[in-house]
Amino acid sequence: MASVAFSPSYKTKIMWAIFFAYVIYAMSRLDFTWDRFVLGIHNGAQFLSRMFPPHVMQPESMFKGLQESLEIAILASFFGVILSLPLSILAARNLMPKWVTWIARTVIALCRSFHPLIVAILFVKAVGFGALAGILTLIVASIGFIAKLFAEAIEEISPKQVEAIKATGAPFLSVLDYGVFPQVMSRFIGFVTYQIDSNLRNSTMVGIVGAGGIGGTLFAAFQRFDYDFVCAILLAIIAMIMTGELLAKLIRILLTGKQSRIENES
């Protein structure tokens, strides 16, 4: 008799039926129809035809915005990692008492609760328009992502090495240095390089609400209906992000290679 990977019960079938019924209901509530979808494809084709060929109308404004987005991403990543590391240690349940981890995880949850655009609006109202609001926005986003993954990685380490270091009477910093970080450093590097790439993408978006970067130039081009300039900006953003991804991959290879050599020597 052939085995079935998934043998749904009547309860499962009922749940799927309820789910599909809700999907249909939601589509009707949101006026999601086939006619509107086809019309959207036609309008999208017209919009794309107005974007090509791309034309750089304001090269100084575009390159200044790209440079500012890059600077926002790098600064936000640097301070985000610096703040996330101690917060992740405080959030690790295998290293800290329960009340400390609860406070730390609440801070992390707050940083993860809102989309960067919402946080950017708040910081623009607080510190004004410009790159500072963008940097603060992406620092919050970095803490919400990196600190959570750092804490989870620390909680998954083998306790034997930590207990061996503690048995020698070593202080807490030495326990972290010799018992915790060597087990998670490669994962830390992966998280950091991913967050740099993510901040680079988000730094091009927060400018739409006035938080600095190329997003402001892009939004202004949309408002002027300069779609050929919009296309040029989008292509420049794609090139910058692809370059940043390659650099992040190179940094990860160099750091993970160095880390593996250190582990082999030890």
Peptide bond into 53 cis (omega under 30): yes
* Structural domain for 184, as ranges: 64-265
The answer as to whether 198 is a domain residue is yes
Which residue type does 9 have?
Answer: S
The answer as to whether 32 is a domain residue is no
Query: What CATH number did the domain enclosing 122 receive?
Result: 1.10.3720.10
The answer as to whether 230 is a domain residue is yes
What number of other Cβ atoms are within 10 A of residue 194's Cβ?
16
At 222, the pLDDT band (50, 70, 90 cuts) reads confident
Structurally, the chain folds into a number of domains equal to: 1
The answer as to whether 46 is a domain residue is no
pLDDT value at position 8? 65
What number of other Cβ atoms are within 10 A of residue 201's Cβ?
16
**202-211: average pLDDT:** 84
Please state, in angstroms and rounded to a whole number, the distance separating the CA atoms of residues 9 and 139: 47
The answer as to whether 55 is a domain residue is no
The answer as to whether 41 is a domain residue is no
Residue 84 has pLDDT above 50, yes or no: yes
Residue 123 has pLDDT above 80, yes or no: yes
pLDDT value at position 213? 82
CA 266 to centroid of chain Cα atoms: 34
